């Protein structure tokens, strides 16, 4: 597969649907009669984390904006990939959610005519994080669409959006891609060695971005190895508590690395926008304005850091749950693809019972739930590792 949809691993049905819509969109612009119903102005991309919701939405945006329908290498396609295309508005929640002001501003800007003469595309990542008022502002825009504006929303599932918005969107459903399809992308796109790509793809269970990180980033692979040590080492109270502390600490370190990478460039570009370092009339006033804007930015960064920390710990818990799912598969002799190195699995599978494996999986799920209820992370994770140690 070539062109803008090349990065969509194992999503053949979605690619067919979007290619058809993009040709219909071109036909509309050319004043021809498109295939009835193929194109519409509001789309909802759903699928499990890592299946490529936002990649699919971004590729579709490129196909709509490209003069040749999504070639993948013209200036327009490259600008869409870089996020700098004048007719593409990429929207991410500032913190934990989209506020009403952010959404209103967006709706206003979205109604403008496209500068490139094709479409104006608004890509809303994590649309499920809209607050209720923000959703209302968004709904109005989708109900009364500007003629050349296309809305692309992304959410884990259609149920994550209010029914009024959901019912006005064409739903695109991504599936969990097969490991072989994910490995194939890593090999062809990123030049990763095939055996390594397949191992990473299996470990990431269809999550393309995570598979790539596991294959290229030694520290990500090391953190995964840390998580997978838990089942073997949580055998009594002492180690269980120590493992809990290290799980939480590792997640915090990883989250810190991720947020620091995002924070500094944001502060930098804000300083530049306010012309820091310049002299002359009005500078003192501008500097006061900057202090306020900087405070806003730092508040948003703080709540994003909280979100990243939570997501990172959750990722570790899901990997742990996946390990026990693999144990269960071995215990039942089920013929499924395993994500975990087999030696560890067989050791645990042969010394425990399926009932205790199920109880352990439940303990992990309970921990995830408690974390969403804002229980202190260390407390929730200690409770879990203790449950894992006793089975
Ligand atoms: Zn192109």
Report how far ligand 1's centroid is from the alpha carbon of 76 (Å): 6
Angle between helix 218-233 and helix 208-216 axes, rounded to 10 deg: 100
DSSP 101-158: HHHHHHHHHHTSPPTTSS-EEEEETTGGGB-HHHHHHHHHHHHS--TTEEEEEEESSG
In whole angstroms, what is the distance from residue 364 CA to residue 266 CA? 36
Report how far ligand 1's centroid is from the alpha carbon of 3 (Å): 8
Q: 131-180, pLDDT tens digit by residue?
A: 787 888 888 888 888 889 999 999 988 888 889 999 999 999 999 888 99
Question: Span 232-260, mean pLDDT?
Answer: 88
Report how far ligand 1's centroid is from the alpha carbon of 373 (Å): 46
Report how far ligand 1's centroid is from the alpha carbon of 374 (Å): 46
**DSSP helix/strand/coil, 347:** helix
Report how far ligand 1's centroid is from the alpha carbon of 74 (Å): 4
Report how far ligand 1's centroid is from the alpha carbon of 67 (Å): 6
Could you tell me the pTM of the whole model?
Answer: 0.69
Q: Does residue 63 contact residue 22 with C-beta atoms inside 8 Å?
A: yes
Report how far ligand 1's centroid is from the alpha carbon of 151 (Å): 20
Report how far ligand 1's centroid is from the alpha carbon of 333 (Å): 49
Report how far ligand 1's centroid is from the alpha carbon of 118 (Å): 13
In the structure, what pLDDT confidence band is assigned to residue 281 with cuts at 50, 70 and 90?
A: low
Report how far ligand 1's centroid is from the alpha carbon of 23 (Å): 13
SS (H, E, C) 261-278: HHHHHHHHHHHHHCCCCC
Where is pLDDT greater, at 96 or 177?
A: 177
Report how far ligand 1's centroid is from the alpha carbon of 116 (Å): 13
């Amino acid at each position: 597969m070539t062109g803008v949809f090349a990065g969509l691993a194992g999503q053949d049905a979605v690619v067919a649907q979007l290619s058809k819509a993009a040709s219909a969109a071109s036909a509309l612009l050319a004043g021809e009669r498109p295939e009835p119903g193929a194109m519409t102005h509001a789309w909802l991309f759903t699928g499990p984390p890592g299946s490529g919701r936002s990649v699919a939405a971004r590729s579709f945006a490129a196909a709509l904006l490209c003069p040749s329908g999504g070639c993948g290498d013209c200036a327009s396609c490259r600008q869409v990939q870089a996020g700098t295309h004048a007719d593409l508005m990429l929207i991410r929640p500032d913190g934990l959610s989209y506020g009403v002001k952010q959404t209103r501003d967006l709706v206003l800007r979205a109604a403008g005519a496209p500068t490139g003469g094709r479409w104006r595309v608004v890509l809303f990542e994590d649309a499920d994080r809209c607050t209720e008022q923000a959703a209302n502002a968004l709904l109005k825009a989708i109900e009364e669409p500007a003629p050349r504006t296309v809305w692309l929303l992304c959410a884990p599932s259609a149920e994550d959006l209010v029914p009024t918005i959901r019912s006005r969107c064409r739903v695109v459903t991504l599936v969990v891609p097969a490991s072989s399809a994910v490995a194939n992308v890593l090999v062809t796109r990123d030049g990763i060695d095939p055996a390594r790509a397949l191992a990473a793809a299996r470990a990431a269970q269809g999550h393309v971005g995570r598979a790539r990180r596991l294959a290229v980033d030694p520290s990500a692979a090391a953190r995964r190895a840390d998580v997978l040590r838990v089942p073997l080492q949580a055998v009594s109270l002492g180690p269980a508590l120590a493992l809990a502390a290290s799980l939480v600490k590792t997640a915090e370190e990883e989250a810190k690395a991720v947020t620091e990478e995002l924070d500094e460039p944001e502060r930098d570009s804000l300083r530049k926008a306010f012309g820091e370092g310049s002299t002359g009339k009005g500078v003192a006033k501008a500097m006061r304005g900057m202090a306020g804007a900087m405070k806003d930015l730092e508040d948003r960064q703080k709540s994003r850091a909280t979100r990243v920390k939570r997501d990172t710990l959750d990722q570790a818990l899901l990997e742990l749950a996946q390990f026990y799912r693999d144990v269960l598969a071995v215990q039942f002799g089920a013929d499924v693809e395993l994500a975990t190195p087999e030696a560890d699995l067989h050791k645990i599978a042969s010394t425990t019972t399926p009932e205790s494996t199920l109880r352990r999986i439940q303990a992990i799920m309970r921990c995830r739930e408690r974390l969403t209820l804002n229980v202190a992370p260390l407390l929730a994770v200690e409770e879990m590792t203790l449950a894992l140690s006793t089975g």
